[in-house]
Chains A and B, each alone.
Chain A
Amino acid sequence: QKEVEQNSGPLSVPEGAIASLNCTYSDRGSQSFFWYRQYSGKSPELIMSIYSNGDKEDGRFTAQLNKASQYVSLLIRDSQPSDSATYLCAVGTGANSKLTFGKGITLSVRP
């Protein structure tokens, strides 16, 4: 059973729109949550982290966490073609904060 699910995708939005990326996780003891961006042929890079319920904003990115629903999301405002990439959700669980990744959602921003 996959512990981190990213079921929707691929996602295509027009330039300037809001892109909404969703992720659910199975372990209620999970304590840390991350979003990584991965361009084709490149390594994942961390773009957002969130640890408590609510919203966290960083520029055009907003991470939202709802531990009761075991749900974490990433909103990208004013989407740009350069945002086109695969977005990976990662969840940290346990005393050693073992990171488990979802399979990713591919986002395409149309000019």
Chain B
Amino acid sequence: DARVTQTPRHKVTEMGQEVTMRCQPILGHNTVFWYRQTMMQGLELLAYFRNRAPLDDSGMPKDRFSAEMPDATLATLKIQPSEPRDSAVYFCASGRDSLFTDFGAGTRLSVL
């Protein structure tokens, strides 16, 4: 029963379209992570923020992906333009100084 809220839960889009995924971390958590999960690669860290500041986005393809945290209650992950290889489950997780990280239910993205 996830308490980190992610929207949308499912997204089907066509190649080239912009995709925006949203995450509301648990109140009081100061660290937010974006992970991508595929069968081949497992869970890969894309980006993470502490106190809204980006700490590490080395796992994120910079040419098409962007992650922001406009306020403490919202984190966003955008893909523009999307490609079929971006099809995966994208998880947002939040924690207190990265400890005891709680995951959201995930966004299942299919790019056709």
A91 to B53, CA, bound (A): 22
Contacts of A92 in B (CB 8 A): 98
Q: Shortest distance in angstroms between A27's beta carbon and chain B's nearest beta carbon?
A: 14
Instruction: Classify the secondary structure of A's interface with B.
Output: strand
Task: Tell me the minimal C-beta distance from B18 to chain A in angstroms.
Answer: 25
A96 touches B102 (CB 8 A): no
A99-111 Cβ-contact flags toward B at 8 Å (1 or 0) = 1111110000000
Bits for B78-112, please: 1 = Cβ < 8 Å to A, else 0.
00000000000001000001111111111000000
Q: How far is the CB of A45 from chain B (nearest CB, A)?
A: 7
Q: In the complex, A89 Cα to B56 Cα: how many Å? A: 20
Q: Does A74 contact B (CB under 8 A)?
A: no
- Contact for B43 among A42, A45, A88, CB less than 8 A: A88
Q: How many A-B residue pairs have CB under 8 A?
A: 49
Q: How far is the CB of B108 from chain A (nearest CB, A)?
A: 9
In Å, the complex CA distance between A102 and B55 comes to 21
User: DSSP class of B's interface residues: helix, strand, loop or mixed?
Assistant: strand
Give the Cβ gap from B34 to chain A, nearest Cβ, in Å. Answer: 12
**Count of B residues near A, CB < 8 Å?**
22
Interface size, A (range): 10 to 19
Name the interface residues of A1-55: CB closer than 8 Å to any CB of B.
32, 34, 42-46, 49
* Pair B100/A49 contact, Cβ less than 8 Å: yes
| Nearest-Cβ distance from residue A50 to partner chain B, whole angstroms | 12
Q: Is the CB of A44 within 8 A of B103?
A: yes
Q: Answer whether residue B15 sits at the interface, using C-beta atoms and an 8 A cutoff.
A: no
Subset of 12 A-B contacts with CB under 8 Å:
A43-B105, A43-B106, A44-B91, A49-B99, A88-B43, A96-B50, A98-B45, A98-B48, A98-B56, A101-B45, A103-B41, A103-B43
Beyond A34-B101, A96-B50, A96-B98, 8 additional pairs, beta carbon < 8 A: A42-B105, A43-B106, A49-B99, A88-B43, A98-B45, A100-B45, A101-B35, A104-B42
